[in-house]
């Protein structure tokens, strides 16, 4: 992902080089022992422990399990543009976000009002999801879907925590 | 096609999806299985790329960070997968997928603003061999991203 940790952002988040180095190591192996991190960065183990705790408690970083969507039982992934009519896009987006299969929701500007990423177990489940759930939300005028035939890369390292 | 997680896997992953640094012993105690079972299953799921234990950072804590969707059309349809493979090598892209409908390829990245997006497309995407054109959409409010779900490809 593009590097957003430029100086102009430092004031807002206040991550120093050590914090960033810890995050980089934990991205590669979320269960790397504190002692091994300390050794790799040449700092005290207590420092690593305190830094991780501070970043977790401030809601800046989390160490989590990401499950492959196919292993989770979903064989289809789609990117769907949503056009909204007669209702605020934000209200529609909040309703979309409440649906488990809709795993990403982003308000956008342009031809679409909302961009979502959704998963479905199979074609029948997808059909139901689109007509009965997404299409039935008040304010949803039109859904413009694209099916992912192959995902070559997917590293959602930067995400909002509040709705996940 | 990848193996689907069974019920015991799912119980372990459910615990890890909230805090992946929780000890195997604690998970074992909660689920009433042995520590060895937990260790073995986690190891196998990681090796088979069914799960990834990793750090995620909160975009809400960063100013001026927006998600950009870049829809890419290739010169000839037969080039689609080769172009997608080249794009996947660009570190700034968090998602690259070959699509059916809307465009040939979808690439997603994080940018600071519209100028940053324009510069990124001009310097990094348009120059990729086989890229005919792009359309992009800039997010104004990132409402949800369930970090528990992804395609694990590397």
**Quick one: tokens of A122?**
């199979």
Name the CATH topology of A76-147. Answer: Alpha-Beta Plaits (3.30.70)
Mutation target to probe the B interface, by most B beta carbons within 10 A, among A156, A157, A163, A164 is A156
**Quick one: tokens of A156?**
């959602």
Question: Which chain B residues are closer than 8 Å to A112 by Cβ?
Answer: 137
Beta strands in chain A (DSSP E): 61-68, 76-84, 102-108, 114-120, 140-154, 158-159
Domains in chain B with CATH codes: 7-47 (1.10.10.10), 59-138 (3.30.70.920)
C-alpha torsion sign, points A152, B101, B110, A59: negative
Torsion from C-alpha of B88, B77, A111, B143, nearest 10 degrees: -30
- A61-89, pLDDT tens digit by residue? 899 998 888 898 999 999 999 999 999 99
Q: Per the CB < 8 Å rule, is A65 touching B69? A: no
Domains A11-57 and A76-147 share a fold: no
User: pLDDT class for A7, splitting at 50, 70, 90?
Assistant: very low
pLDDT at B72: 98
CA distance B108 to A104: 12
Taking the CA of residue A118 and the nearest CA in chain B, the distance in Å comes to 10
Question: Which chain B residues are closer than 8 Å to A163 by Cβ?
Answer: 143-146
pLDDT at A118: 96
How wide is the angle at C-alpha A158 spanned by C-alphas A157 and A159, nearest 5°?
Answer: 115
What is the average pLDDT across A106-134? 95
Which CATH code of 1.10.10.10, 3.40.30.10, 3.30.43.10, 2.40.340.10 fits the domain covering A11-57? 1.10.10.10
Q: Per the CB < 8 Å rule, is B4 touching A30? A: no
Q: What pTM value is reported for the model?
A: 0.86
Closest chain A residue to the Cα of B141, Cα to Cα: A107
Mutation target to probe the B interface, by most B beta carbons within 10 A, among A96, A160, A161 is A160
Q: Per the CB < 8 Å rule, is A157 touching B143? A: no
Q: What residues does each domain of chain A span? A: 11-57, 76-147
Q: Per the CB < 8 Å rule, is A152 touching B103? A: no
CA distance A22 to A158: 16
CA distance B100 to B118: 25
User: pLDDT class for A116, splitting at 50, 70, 90?
Assistant: very high
How wide is the angle at C-alpha B67 spanned by C-alphas A66 and A156, nearest 5°?
Answer: 15
Label residue B32 exposed, middle or buried (CB < 10 Å: 0-12, 13-18, 19+): exposed
Q: What is the mean pLDDT of each run of 10 residues along chain B (154 residues)?
A: 90 92 95 96 94 86 82 97 96 94 95 93 97 94 81 69
Residues of A numbered 97-136 whose beta carbons fall under 8 angstroms of chain B's beta carbons: which are they? Answer: 97, 100, 102-112, 115, 119
pLDDT at A135 over 80: yes
Task: Report the complex ipTM.
Answer: 0.88
What is the average pLDDT across A14-31? 92
pLDDT at B18: 83
């Amino acid at each position: 992902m593009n590097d957003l940790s430029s100086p102009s952002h430092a004031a807002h988040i206040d991550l120093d080089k050590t914090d960033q180095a810890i995050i980089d190591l934990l991205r590669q192996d979320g269960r790397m022992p504190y002692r091994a991190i300390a050794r790799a960065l040449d700092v005290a183990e207590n420092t690593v422990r305190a830094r991780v705790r501070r970043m977790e408690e401030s809601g800046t970083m989390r160490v989590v399990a990401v499950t492959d969507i196919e292993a989770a039982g979903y064989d289809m992934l789609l990117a769907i543009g949503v056009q909204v009519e007669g209702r605020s896009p934000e209200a529609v987006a909040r309703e979309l976000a409440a649906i488990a299969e809709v795993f990403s929701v982003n308000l956008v500007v342009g031809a679409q009002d909302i961009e979502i990423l959704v998963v479905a177990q199979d074609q029948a489940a997808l059909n139901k999801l689109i007509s009965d759930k997404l299409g039935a939300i008040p304010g949803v005028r039109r859904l413009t879907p694209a099916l992912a035939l192959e995902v070559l890369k997917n590293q959602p390292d930067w995400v909002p925590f509040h709705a996940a | 096609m990848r193996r689907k997680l069974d019920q015991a896997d799912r119980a372990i992953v459910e615990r890890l999806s909230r805090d992946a640094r929780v000890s195997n012993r604690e998970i074992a105690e909660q689920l009433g299985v042995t520590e060895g079972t937990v260790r073995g299953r986690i190891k196998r799921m990681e090796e088979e790329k069914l799960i990834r234990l990793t750090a995620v950072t909160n975009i809400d804590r960063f100013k001026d960070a927006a998600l950009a969707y870049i829809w890419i059309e290739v010169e000839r349809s037969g080039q689609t997968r080769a172009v997608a493979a080249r794009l996947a090598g660009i570190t700034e892209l968090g998602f690259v997928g070959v699509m059916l409908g809307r465009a040939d390829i979808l690439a997603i990245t994080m940018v600071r603003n519209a100028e940053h997006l324009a510069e990124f497309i001009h310097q990094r995407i348009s120059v990729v061999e086989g890229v005919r054109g792009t359309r992009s959409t800039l997010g104004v409010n990132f409402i949800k991203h369930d970090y528990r779900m992804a395609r694990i490809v590397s």
